[in-house]
Chains A and B, each alone.
Chain A
Amino acid sequence: MSLATFDLTPLRRADRWHPAELAFWLLPVAAYLVFPDNLVLLTQIAITALFCLSLDLILGYAGIVSLGHAAFFGFGAYAAGLLAANGIGDPLAGLAVAALASAALGFVTSFLVLRGSDLTRLMVTLGIAMMLYEVANKLTDLTGGVDGLQGIEMTPLLGRFTFDLYGKTAYWYAVAVLFLLFWAARKLVHSPFGLSLKGIRLNVARMPAIGAPVNARLSAIYTIGAAYAGIAGALLAQTTQFVALDVLSFNRSAELMLILVLGGSGSLYGAVIGAIVFMSAHHVLSDMNPEYWQFWLGALLVVVVLFARDGVMGGLRRLSHAAGGLRKGAR
Chain B
Amino acid sequence: MDYALQTRNLAKNFGGFTATNNVSLNVEAGARHALIGPNGAGKTTLINLLTGFLEPTAGHVILQGEDVTRLGQHQRVKRGLARTFQINRLFADLTVLESVTMAVNERLGLGARFWKPVGAHGQAVEEAVALLDSLRLLDVAHEKTRSLAYGKQRLIEIALALAMKPRVLLLDEPAAGVPTTESRELFESIAALPRDVTILLIEHDMDLVFRFADRISVLVGGALLTHGTPEVIANDPKVREVYLGEAICA
Interface set of A (CB-CB < 8 Å, partner B): 1-3, 6, 8, 10-15, 187-188, 190-196, 198-199, 202-203, 205-214, 216-217, 220
Contacts and interface: CB of A to CB of B under 8 A. Distances in A.
Interface size class of B (residues with CB under 8 A): 35 or more
B142 A10 contact: yes
B133 A2 contact: yes
B90 A3 contact: no
Given A8-B119, A203-B91, A195 B102 contact: yes
A92 B106 CA distance: 36
A12 B119 contact: yes
B64 interface: no
A7 B125 CA distance: 12
Interface string B87-125: 001111111011101110111001111111111010011
A6 B114 contact: no
Interface stretch (B10-18, B72-80, B212-220, B239-247): B72-80
A190 B113 CA distance: 10
Interface of B: 51, 72-74, 77-78, 82-83, 85, 89-95, 97-99, 101-103, 105-107, 110-119, 121, 124-125, 129-130, 133, 138-139, 141-142, 160-161, 163-164
Nearest to A205: B89
A210 B117 contact: no
Contact of A191 (B72, B98, B115): B115
B204 to A, nearest CB: 21
A190 B138 contact: no
25 contacts: A11-B125, A15-B117, A187-B114, A188-B114, A192-B102, A192-B111, A192-B124, A193-B111, A193-B112, A193-B114, A196-B102, A203-B92, A206-B89, A209-B73, A209-B83, A209-B160, A210-B163, A211-B77, A211-B78, A211-B106, A211-B107, A211-B164, A212-B74, A212-B106, A214-B74
A208 B98 contact: no
Contact of A196 (B82, B107, B111): B111
Contact of A192 (B83, B97, B113): B113
A220 B91 contact: no
Contacts of B163: 210
